[in-house]
Structure 1
Amino acid sequence: MGVAYSVGEVDHLYTFFSKWSPDLHTKCNKTHKQRRYLIREKNHNGYVVVEKDNKLRSSSPTDKNWEIITVKDSKRRLSLCSFEDSEEDVEETLPVLSDQSLLLDDLHLEKLAAHLPARTQGYPWKLAYSIESHGSSLKTLYRNMAGLDSPVLLVIRDMHQKVFGAFCSSPFRISRGCYGTGETFLFCFNPDFQLYKWSGENSYFVSGNLESLQIGGGGGCFGLWLDADLYHGSSFSCPTFHNAPLSTHKDFLVQQLEVWTVQN
């Protein structure tokens, strides 16, 4: 449960920071990005977000029952359920990639992080498949997904240098019908970031066979479609996400493709 404090109580918090964590209380110039910390009561789950210029305090500023931790540490200490209640107050940290990505930079990660489910936060992302490492084969992609039980992030760069893809709540697999949940979404950077969440109109999230992989559908159109060689693709507006085509060309050729999965 979060804790609220009045503006008039700033001086006590200043004393608290200076006395118990002088190493965290440092001056910074205006060009330096603010670092955020949390004040946590050791026996409770309440947190207070503190920035350099904010004026907040604990009710007992010299009480050693309180400690200061970073936002990153708080995500690892809280259960995913309890963290959902406070995520509006806590600045998102960038997902940690365990391998080097040819497609994702910090800007991409920052935009995506704000929309990833709470259950993925605080865990590193592992590269499960890439054309660079594994060749261009949908069969290989399915094989690399076998045995996984975690969400996946599909990222594509086409021959026109457009980056787009999908977050899927389940690993890709061959299926008789559609699978997945409303956590699934489409996205693109063309160049501005666009996100297309589940519309609720149908549940055609993901389906796959040996010939193709489809994400989103309805009315004979797929939000994102890839062929067996992961070379030809297409993207049309579909009822599942009410998305615009993800690429500047509805039919495109894949230059690079990566699939990331949560490593928990």
Structure 2
Amino acid sequence: MWLEEKSETMKLLPDNVTVLYFARDRVEPYVEIITVKDATRRRSLSSSEDKEAEDEPVRDTLPVLKHQSQLLDARHLERLAAHMPVKTQGSPWQLAFSVAVHGSSLKTLYRNMAGLDRPVLLVIRDMHKKVFGAFSSDPFRVSRFCYGTGETFLFSFSPDFQAYRWSGENSYFMSGTLESLQIGGGGGGFGLWLNADLYRGSSFSCPTFNNKSLSTQEDFNVLDLEVWTVQNI
């Protein structure tokens, strides 16, 4: 860098000096001359502040449950929020179905979903106390063909959280009959499958999500089940 003196001659700045130039719209620009050591310290402080901001959880993006959940706590919600669509962040969620409240019936689950046009969150606890489920872009319903979008994903907890997003290999997101609900498929097994009484289920690796089995065992019994639906989107 060069600095112009009053004599209109040019002088080479020392190696330990740097020049910062500031300018804003409609504001007189000015020059600040500092040592290289100070410039390095400023960059270090700025990087530390950015790192702290990144590490701090963004609480206002977490789902807000309007009812008490038997399966989800703040830790679960924090992990799930990072994978949900932006349009759902910070929105209230209401309990649309629970086997503890509505009984073990897939028909009742479908009936409670009737008329909805919003994403839903299915959460299951198996007999081994493992929690897992699916975020669905569409409410569950009986259908002749597969439905849903690439926002759909599978997840599991315990011991660590794992989310399995759409692989792009097929579009077998969801399908439903009166006998069963299926999520993901294409490889001879469903990513998540539930029977008509919501008591028995299975989870296999499938091309739709390239997932591992969500449950403790591929075939499992349901201990508890909840379905939540997002509001205000």
The aligned counterpart of 1:178 is: 146
- The correspondence for 1:150, drawn from 112, 118, 122, is 118
Secondary structure at 1:258 match in 2: strand
**For 1:191-246, what per-residue CA distance to the aligned partner results, in whole angstroms no more than 9, with x for missing partners?**
10001000000000000000000000002210000000000000000000000000
The aligned runs of 1:20-35 (5 Å cut-off) are: none
- Please state how far the C-alpha of 1:95 moved relative to its aligned partner: 1.1
User: Partner amino acid for 2:195?
Assistant: D
90-99 or 217-226, larger mean C-alpha shift: 90-99
Separation in structure 2 between the aligned mates of residue 108 and residue 235 of structure 1, nearest angstrom:
20
Indicate whether 1:112 and 2:80 are aligned.
yes
Structure with the largest fraction of strand: 2
- The higher-RCO structure (CA 8 Å, 6+ apart) is 2
The aligned counterpart of 2:94 is: 126
Separation in structure 1 between the aligned mates of residue 152 and residue 88 of structure 2, nearest angstrom:
13
- Please state how far the C-alpha of 1:178 moved relative to its aligned partner: 0.3
User: Partner amino acid for 1:218?
Assistant: G
Separation in structure 2 between the aligned mates of residue 165 and residue 224 of structure 1, nearest angstrom:
8
Gaps of 5+ in 2: 1-19, 21-47
Indicate whether 1:218 and 2:208 are aligned.
no
- The correspondence for 1:91, drawn from 50, 54, 58, is 58
The aligned counterpart of 1:163 is: 131
CA contact 1:204–1:240 (8 Å) conserved in 2:
yes
- Please state how far the C-alpha of 1:190 moved relative to its aligned partner: 2.2
CA distance 1:99–1:54, change in 2 (3 Å): same
Indicate whether 1:244 and 2:212 are aligned.
yes
- Please state how far the C-alpha of 1:130 moved relative to its aligned partner: 0.3
Identical residues among aligned pairs (%): 74
User: Partner amino acid for 1:182?
Assistant: G
The aligned counterpart of 1:101 is: 69
Report the TM-score, using the length of structure 1 for normalisation.
0.66
Secondary structure at 1:139 match in 2: helix
- Please state how far the C-alpha of 1:121 moved relative to its aligned partner: 1.5
User: Partner amino acid for 1:155?
Assistant: V
- Please state how far the C-alpha of 1:92 moved relative to its aligned partner: 5.0
Instruction: Report how many residues are paired.
Output: 183
User: Partner amino acid for 2:147?
Assistant: Y
**For 1:63-119, what per-residue CA distance to the aligned partner results, in whole angstroms no more than 9, with x for missing partners?**
xxxxxxxxxxxxxxxxxxxxxxxx9x9935321100000000010000001111011
Gaps of 5+ in 1: 1-7, 9-52, 56-86
User: Partner amino acid for 2:95?
Assistant: L
The aligned counterpart of 1:21 is: none
- Please state how far the C-alpha of 1:128 moved relative to its aligned partner: 0.2
Secondary structure at 2:64 match in 1: coil
Separation in structure 2 between the aligned mates of residue 162 and residue 91 of structure 1, nearest angstrom:
27
